[in-house]
Amino acid sequence: MQTGDTGLNLIKAYEGFTASPRADERRGGGFVVGYGHHTTSPMPQVSQREATNLLMRDVTPIETLIRDSVRTPLNQNEHDALVSFVFNIGAENFKRSTVLSKLNAGDKLGAAEAFERWTKARVDGKLMKLDGLVRRRAAEKSLFLMPTDAELVIPTSEVSPAEECDGQFLAPSEVTHAPLVDFDSYRRDKGRALTEEEIEGRLSALYAASHALMGDPSKMIIAKAEEREDIGVTIGAVLGAVLALALTLFAGAMALDTYAPDTAGMLGITPGLLSPVMADLPIWLLASGLGLTYFTLYIVAKRAARHSLKKARAKELGRVRGR
């Protein structure tokens, strides 16, 4: 899958455009030009068109990395968000990141939350959470969870994160990173009051999760695995429709034979033709009833499960707001 315009624009917004090469302080050497293109030696000024071509060339190996390392199906927005993420943190960091491990475990919501682990960078030798990285991760997370027909508004920033868990560069106390809101910690101590930052972060997480599960507002994000699980709905619908059509045709033939025998004879509908079907009529009725009952119960069960999920999320949201 190739990176779309949304993914390229996200990278452009955060990397910023540099026409003339300048020292690359983030990598500690070399030069950067265009939209975050790294070069070891100075090069002439570039136009925005040339910078876009360089960016498209830079994301090609990232696309290959994602194709080879991610084992779960991705839509365009999920792919583009990962391209921007890898462009910022680097391929080696991505290979050992929680984002990749969650994706390959089939936990897309967990992967989206793991974006927030990459919000720290060193400033004057100190590891700090930077607003620019928080906003970039939020934009990538929003794109990752967003339906493919929606539009993303991207703020601008230019920062590079510290590595997530590289013991060679981080002190032991700095190795463990956590999301902006620690839900497990809050569940262990439900009585304490949340800070304004925790409330905002928790509501944002619930909002993103609700949109991912229930739509935005009428769209639903359905993974390939969920599509395979819902094959039962298709089977039930097809089976019920076929049996209902067969019964309708049989009832129509009987009606013609009873009330318009001349017309039935012209159509080739005779008592001898209907007799075998009449002999097996109880079996036909039983099969039709079972097919329609299966389809109906399956739909009711799915709707009940989704309704329970909505109630649980509404209750959780109300508890966070102090209702």
258-297 as b/e, with b when 16 or more CB fall inside 10 Å?
A: eeeeeebeeeebeeeebeeeeeeeeeeeebbeebbeebee
Same domain for 40 and 75: yes
- Does residue 95 or residue 265 have the better pLDDT? 95
Same domain for 196 and 130: yes
In tens, the pLDDT along 196-250 reads: 776 776 666 666 655 555 544 333 334 444 444 556 667 767 777 787 787 788 7
Same domain for 263 and 190: no
Q: CATH number of the domain at 166, please.
A: 1.10.530.40
d(CA 105, CA 67): 16
- Does residue 192 or residue 308 have the better pLDDT? 308
Same domain for 248 and 108: no
Residue 90 burial (10 A CB sphere; 0-12, 13-18, 19+):
middle
What is the set of active-site residues? Answer: 15, 24
Q: Which of 195, 224, 253 is the last residue of a domain?
A: 224
Please state the rounded mean pLDDT for residues 65-88: 93
Give how far the C-alpha of residue 240 lies from the chain's centroid of Cα atoms, to the nearest Å: 32
pTM over 0.85: no
Q: Which domain holds residue 275?
A: 230-320
d(CA 124, CA 8): 31
Instruction: Name the one residue in this structure whose structure tokens are 């999301």.
Output: 179
Q: What residues does 92 pair with on adjacent strands?
A: none
- Does residue 54 or residue 319 have the better pLDDT? 54
Same domain for 187 and 269: no
Give how far the C-alpha of residue 88 lies from the chain's centroid of Cα atoms, to the nearest Å: 20
Query: What token pair was written down for 47?
Result: 């136009």
Query: Which residues lie closer than 8 Å to 18 by C-beta, 6 or more apart?
Result: 32, 33, 34, 35
Q: Which of 205, 224, 243 is the last residue of a domain?
A: 224
Same domain for 95 and 11: yes
Cβ atoms 10, 16 nearer than 8 A: no
Same domain for 99 and 188: yes
Give how far the C-alpha of residue 97 lies from the chain's centroid of Cα atoms, to the nearest Å: 18
What DSSP string describes 84-125?
HHHHHH-HHHHHTSHHHHHHHTT-HHHHHHHGGG--EEEETT
What total number of domains does the chain contain?
Answer: 2
Same domain for 127 and 196: yes
Query: Is residue 18 classed as helix, strand or coil in its secondary structure?
Result: strand
Q: Which of 224, 248, 265 is the last residue of a domain?
A: 224
Same domain for 298 and 213: no
Same domain for 133 and 250: no
pLDDT at 73 over 80: yes
Same domain for 284 and 163: no
Task: Give, in order, the Cα–Cα distances in Å from 226 to each of 21, 81, 220, 233.
Answer: 48, 21, 11, 12
Question: For every residue of 151-214, which 3-state class applies, written as one string?
Answer: CCCCCCCCCCCCCCCCCCCCCHHHHCCCCCCCHHHHHHCCCCCCCHHHHHHHHHHHHHHHHHHH
Instruction: Report the range of poorest mean pLDDT among 31-45, 104-118, 121-135, 185-199.
Output: 185-199
Same domain for 145 and 35: yes
Cβ atoms 298, 237 nearer than 8 A: no
d(CA 207, CA 216): 10
